[in-house]
Structure 1
Amino acid sequence: MGTPNKKMVKACTRCKQRKKKCTGDLPCEYCSKINQPEGCEYKARVKSKVAKVTERYINSLKSRIRELEVEVAKGAPGSTLDYDNHASASDINPLLEPTYGLEFHSKNELEPKTTKRYLGTSACAQFLRKVKQSIADTCNEGLLSHDPSYTSGTPLATDPEGSIDRGYIANVVAEHLPNSSDAQRLISNASKMIGADYLFIEPQYFELTVERMFYRGSVPKHAIDLIQFSVELLRFVSYLALGSLFDKTRQGSKSLSVRLHSTCISIYGQLTSVYDQAASTSMVQSLLCIAYFALSQNKTTFAFTMVGNAIRIMFTLGYHKSTQSQRENRTFWLCFIYDRLLAVRFGFPLMIDEREINVPVFDQAEGAQRVVSLDMYHFVAQVRLAMVTTQVITKIYIQNPFSFLHNCHLVLRQLKSWFDLLPDELKFDYNNIKSGLIRSTFNLHINYNYSIMITTRPVLLYVFNVILTKGSHGGDLFENDQFNLILDLLESCIQAAEIQSRILAKLYYDDKMAVNSFLDCHYIFSATIILILAGYCQMLMKKSVLYSGGIECLFDAIKNNLNFLQRLSEHNIVARNFNEQLTEFIDMMSSEQVVQVLNPDTNDNQPYILFSRSTQGQTFLSNDQHSEEKEFNIADVGFVDLSELLDNMNNQFLSGTSVDDFLNANF
């Protein structure tokens, strides 16, 4: 990654093409002026790291290698290995698979040597086919001319077992694809709405892949070529489905997105019969897109399955050990981000163990160009935050021998380090919004506050449980030496939820919120739970202030969040589900039985006690039913500064206390 806070020495690629002077900023003035900040990038060739050694030294190494080979041969007299011909283990045993699966090289000499495919040779059917192939090679090649799996030049059989229906693929291309201009618009729409966080579309993808294969080419007739064509078609249609999902310009775009998503699933079903040969970077990217769409339809289990399949392919291809291009590298880390996204939001198990990863973020091949762009900055920051999410899951939500406060301190320290290392281009300032600020920048800070919330919210539950069991008598509910520490953690949790709510409000009023997405609705949902619970705790704690920000501001945030979810419910099944859950929770807390138990001294002069339901089913605060909707005043929005909290935790570090006993038993 380039050095932040400094201008680039060279011009960006767009200014180079224009042959005009570039300001060197990221984004530069021209890219900001034309409203394409995400396209501003700087390229520089990576210096070759070649160690200089003498020819004499190389010859000595070769001599030593020959000596060792002779010694090995003497130690194994029965060995018949021909070292001069470089015989490999796969040559000796054609069924023995290398580390990352058996490599398949096309007999076409024009095909790049890097092409490789996992053939799944361990399957018994594959073993039988190899036996039959041996017979055919020895006796009569015509015996197996009907089988499409042996040579790349053999036409497909009509038997659906182990093959793809070419007629179906041709029908998808002819009937389901939009015209070229609409397709390009939808792909661009998906890229801008989802951004670098959860989607990667390589530069010139449309020109080099889509137009060449689907608008200027034809459906191949040969087996291997058709498989590759179908995989790319799957990826293309998955992008179109996402682009239609967020398309606000045309009516019926949502129904179109659902149809395209169904087409994706159907194409994927065709590819499962040749899954071993379809395994590729494009397949992984397609499955992640399908998972993202499934989340927007509230199909969380299906999304988890698709991400799991993508990760399985990725491990089969060996991307966790080595990648040969930025696309492969980016695809691997996208799988990592999706894995953490699902695990922390739904309680699913982690599928990728960080100890098995050997590839860095954005691995650069020798002699390749190093790209510096906002897209790269955003993606690297998201990967680093996903790594912190690993610690949240393992330290906060999985029982371990350390105390909760110890683990909480560790995670918060990592979050602070993440925030401090953000480049200035990704910093967030509502008082002076930069022209290059894009949705991905908002996402980073929403995720940052979300991470603080899920790390510290067990303390809020602890306080609520103490109030339920011991009554609402104030600070004497807690041990004196831990009360201040509890307040510090609560302050950070509630403040992060309020800030996240205000950022989402800004997106909503600026019409930048993805109304059909899962993530935006989930962010509103998670923040609102904390604000509602904090509001009740504050009302019940008559003698102590749990949140210095003021209960009026807190309840304004609750009301706005509920209003957003209510409006989004008209377009989004996920928002409808979250709205129903919050409504049920509020109805429970507002029932007479609960109010009498929690607050028997309720009187008409105490504000903000109950929530109500309007005749339209909208949930709002009972004392503010007549107020008009208004936009948040976000001029004073900042970010949770964890420095003071971490210092206080260092000074008041406690273990073995009642808060630890409760949290260790419940998380």
Structure 2
Amino acid sequence: MPKSVSRKSGLAELRACTECRKRKSKCSGTNPCSYCAKTNKLCVFGPRPSRTPLTRRNLDAAEVRCTGLLSLLRRLNPDVDIEDALRTIAPDYEYPGPVELPQELEPGSESPGSSHGFEWNEASMARDPADGMVSLPTARAEGYLGNSSGTRLLQTISDLLPENHNLQEHQGDSPARASQTGSPSLLMHFANTAVLDNLVDAYFLWYNCSYPILHETTFRDKYRSRQQIHPRSSWHLLFYLVLAIGHWVSTGGSPLSQCSYYMAARSRMSMRMLESGSLVAVEAFLLMGNYLQKRDRPNTGYNYIGIAYRMALGLGLHREPPSDATRNTLLNERRRAVWWVVYCFDSGFSLTTGRPVMASDSFIETRLPLNVDDSNCVLESPLTAPVDRPTTYSAIIAQARLVSIANRIFSEIISCPYRQSFDLKAPRSIDHQLKAWRLSLPSYFTAQDVPTWFRGPRAIVGWKEQNLRMLLWWGSQRLCSAPSEREEAQNMCHFAAVETIQDVTTFCRDFFETLHTGLSWYATYFLFQASVVLSIHHLRPLPALDSSLAAVNQELWFSSISRARDCLASLGPTNNAAMRCLAVLDRIRDRSPPGQPAQIREYDPAYQAQEPGGEIADTCLAPLAVDPTLQVFFEDTSWENDLFEGLNGFPSTDEVDLFDYVGNPGQTMP
């Protein structure tokens, strides 16, 4: 008997709309159907989905395939959260993932517990608002509060206050999900475990030995068991930053926008990180800030270091652990080490940019870390005795003591107003302090027989001391009014520059095989600064009081600049910044005339052409796009065209957007 409904009818063939299929109810077949018309829903008749027959054979094959795909994904990236990755590629598909989320979004901290009760978390929108004036007593961890806070004042009369258990009423949190890096496009970048091992090794061998931000044993333990770490743990941010820095120091790194390790780390950062405070977060901001500075994003890096500094204060890292601590553990020493890295980063950047130094010695009571060997210790271990040999902490101890002198250079010289009366007593006193610092260094800072890994950190500390001496006298010569004092300051500045060039070029020649990208970056940085100081002097020479001494000095300075150029040329094949610095030195030497295209010339040792014209202008026509750490050297110079035009990277910058405080004619750095 023929069917009552013709097969030619499209609606009849589709039988049911998508809404009725979802409800598994009978559909009227009209458009819209009776149910959709009643509920005011969109009625859609789509093609009937093709289905694989539900047989045991098909089910077994599907299970085997799923198991194989899961195994492949975990092998490509042990850290991937597969459920989050599925949501990323199919956001409209209702994937039946786990319903309950962990209450803590920041596991994986270095510390086994709270950082002496000073860690905080203000991420929950449901929690009672915190006291913005920090004047109310609190039972929960709200960060470090100093003696001037209202909370601390109230604690002095706490025995007179009535107990009020309702004052701080804890409510359950409903933390939002943190952004993840489960995008399948990133998975292939983390496929080779051997590659990851090499990058982690490179980080600890060539970076962490200068700035011991991470405890190697703790990190490697977590790295080996990273498959068990929750994908939302903040440890993964540290992991990606370690890979990014390891990749940079070992290979020079791909362009920042193409570095998968950096992009993975960047995607892990969010505003939620600022709503809580932990030692891990401080470490992450430090690593990100210093990495970006070295990847030609100095202003962005400066901002990250500022966040690390503020968070470190919130954790009380600038204070010694509470006196009621039962024992001095390695965790306490790790807090000290991280604080002094924050201190060095903030002060060093501020000195060379002319921006105010935030870290003041007046409120710091945290003692310097000890020169301990913690390679076989865990964070809960009692602190071992110091050793008389290079350790991971040796360089940062010396550098922290040096930075304390650097702060004096900033406050008494760099930020000193031009109109203020000035004599050479202050710079002479500071110069004597620098010499005393060098003489007080342990013997392994001058010994020939030291571990290969320590040669780089030791050299960087020495170069920084010479650079500080150069900055000291560079700033002093601008403040001197008497010609004799100005000439003395100028000579001292130039001799410091010559000494810097001598030491850096000698190291690069004698230990060329140890010149990884990180060390080459510092060599380029200090060589270029010293060369600029000498080069600028010869473009605007002052009458010398002693002509015979001036002739000798001129020959010494010219030979030093030539030596620096040769060294930069040798670094150029693996260091683009060195080639850009050579181009700028060419432009300074040639005093490029107006309108000449600013092209980057390849270094030619035989090139001696001196183009006519191009005298220095009397007034600055436009601000220079110079790296902020070089700003101080070009404040009093004027050029008819930008020396740094066309240079995307140090000694220029490679920021995504311009910063208002860079090259602003209306704002003069002190």
TM-score category by the smaller chain? 0.5 to 0.7
Q: CA–CA distance in 2 between the matches of 1:426 and 1:210? A: 32
CA contact (8 A) 1:198 1:338 kept: no
2:320, 2:365 within 8 Å by CA — same for their partners in 1? yes
Report if aligned partners of 1:408, 1:456 keep a CA contact under 8 Å in 2: yes
Helix, strand or coil: the match of 2:506? Answer: helix
Q: Which residue of 2 aligns with 1:211?
A: 224
User: What aligned pairs does 1:98-177 form with structure 2 within 5 A after superposition?
Assistant: 112=113, 116=117, 118-119=119-120, 121=122, 126-127=127-128, 148-149=174-175, 162-165=176-179, 168-169=181-182, 175-177=188-190
1:145-294 equivalent positions in 2, closer than 5 A: 148-149=174-175, 162-165=176-179, 168-169=181-182, 175-177=188-190, 179-212=192-225, 214=226, 216-219=227-230, 226=232, 229=233, 231-248=234-251, 258-269=259-270, 272-277=271-276, 279-294=277-292
Question: Which stretch of the first structure deviates more once superposed, 180-189 or 280-289?
Answer: 180-189
Matches within 5 A, 1:479-558: 483=484, 485-509=485-509, 510-511=511-512, 512-515=514-517, 518-535=521-538, 541=544, 544-546=547-549, 550-558=553-561
Q: Name the CA shift for 1:414/1:542 in 2 (closer, same or farther; >3 Å).
A: closer
Aligned residue type for 2:490: L
Instruction: Quote how far apart the aligned CAs of 1:320 are.
Output: 1.0
Name the residue aligned to 2:468. 451
> Which SS does the other structure have where 2:385 is aligned?
strand
Indicate the residue corresponding to 2:424 in structure 1.
405
- Between the aligned partners of 1:105 and 1:180, the Cα distance in structure 2 is 25
CA 1:334–1:560 in structure 2 vs 1: closer, same or farther (change >3 Å)? same
2:362 is aligned with 1:348: no
Whole-Å Cα distance in 2 between the matches of residues 554 and 188 of structure 1?
40
- Residues 1:370 and 2:381 are matched in the alignment: no
Task: Compute the displacement of 1:404 (Å).
Answer: 4.4
1:297 alignment partner AA: R
Measure how far apart 1:528 and its partner are: 0.3
Q: Deviations over 1:1-33 (max 9, x none)?
A: xxxxxxxxxxxxxxxxxxxxxxxxxxxxxxxxx
Mark the runs of 5 or more structure 1 residues left unpaired by the alignment.
Answer: 1-102, 131-137, 139-143, 150-161, 221-225, 464-477, 593-612, 625-664
TM-aligned CA distance change 1:208 to 1:421, over 3 Å: same
The answer (yes or no) to whether the contact 1:291–1:306 under 8 Å persists in 2 is yes
Which structure has more helix as a fraction of its residues? 1
Provide the C-alpha distance between the structure 2 equivalents of 1:452 and 1:406, rounded to a whole number of angstroms: 15
Which ranges in structure 2 are unaligned for 5 or more consecutive residues? Answer: 1-103, 132-165, 322-330, 373-379, 611-667
Query: Quick one: distance in 2 between partners of 1:256 and 1:585?
Result: 31
The aligned amino acid for 1:276 is E
Contact 1:498 1:527 in 2 (8 A): yes
Q: Please state how far the C-alpha of 1:462 moved relative to its aligned partner.
A: 7.3
Q: Deviations over 1:46-69 (max 9, x none)?
A: xxxxxxxxxxxxxxxxxxxxxxxx
Distance 2:437 2:541 in 1: 31
**CA distance change for structure 1 residues 301 and 453 in 2, over 3 Å: closer, same or farther?**
same
Corresponding residue for 1:94? Answer: none
Pair 1:305 & 2:303 matched: yes
Is 1:384–2:401 an aligned residue pair?
A: yes
Indicate the residue corresponding to 2:341 in structure 1. 334
> What code does the residue aligned with 1:192 have?
L
TM-score (norm 1): 0.57
Alignment RMSD (CA, Å): 4.4
CA 1:129–1:374: 2 relative to 1, 3 Å: closer
Q: 1:356 to 1:442 in 2, by over 3 A?
A: same
Q: 1:460 to 1:575 in 2, by over 3 A?
A: farther
**Which 10-residue stretch deviates more, 564-573 or 526-535?**
564-573
Kept in 1, the 8 Å contact 2:247–2:253? The answer is no
- Asked whether the 8 Å contact 2:478–2:486 carries over to 1, the reply is no
Q: Which secondary structure does the structure 2 equivalent of 1:246 belong to?
A: helix
Contact kept, 8 Å, 2:115 with 2:278, in 1: the verdict is: no
In structure 2, the CA distance between the partners of 1:174 and 1:499, relative to structure 1 (3 Å rule), is same
Name the SS for the 1:622 alignment partner: coil
> 2:122·2:275 contact (CA, 8 Å) conserved in 1?
no
Q: Which amino acid aligns with 1:561?
A: A
Which residue does the alignment assign to 1:95? Answer: none
Which deviates further from its counterpart, 112-121 or 182-191?
112-121
Cα distance per residue 1:64-84 (max 9 Å; x no partner): xxxxxxxxxxxxxxxxxxxxx
Q: Any idea what the Cα deviations from partners look like across 1:125-169, whole Å, max 9, x if unmatched? A: 532799xxxxxxx9xxxxx98x634xxxxxxxxxxxx32145x35
Find the partner of 2:443 among 424, 432, 441: 424
Q: Is the 8 A contact 1:494 1:547 kept in 2?
A: no
CA distance in 2, matches of 1:391, 1:180: 47
Following the alignment from structure 1 to structure 2, what is the Cα–Cα distance between the partners of residues 460 and 362? Answer: 36
1:345 corresponds to which letter in structure 2? T
Inter-CA distance 179–218: structure 2 relative to 1 (3 Å threshold): farther
Query: What is the identity percentage for the equivalent residue pairs of Structure 1 and Structure 2?
Result: 15
**Structure 2 CA distance for partners of 1:322 and 1:462, relative to 1, 3 Å:** closer
Structure 1 CA distance for aligned equivalents of residues 486 and 545 of structure 2: 17
With over 3 angstroms needed to count, the CA separation of the structure-2 counterparts of 1:298 and 1:417, relative to structure 1, is same
Tell me the CA shift for residue 300 of structure 1: 1.1
Q: Secondary structure at the match of 1:384?
A: helix
SS at match of 1:371: coil
1:622 aligns with 2:608: yes
Partner of 2:90: none
If asked which structure has higher relative contact order (CA below 8 Å, sep 6+), I would say: 1
Q: What's the secondary structure of 1:351's corresponding residue? A: coil
Cα distance, 1:581 vs. partner? 4.0
1:553 is displaced (CA, Å) by 3.6
Counterpart of 2:128, as a letter, is F
| C-alpha deviation, 1:487, in angstroms | 4.9
**What displacement does 1:575 show?**
4.0
Distance 1:453 1:614 in 2: 28
Distance 1:554 1:488, change over 3 A: same
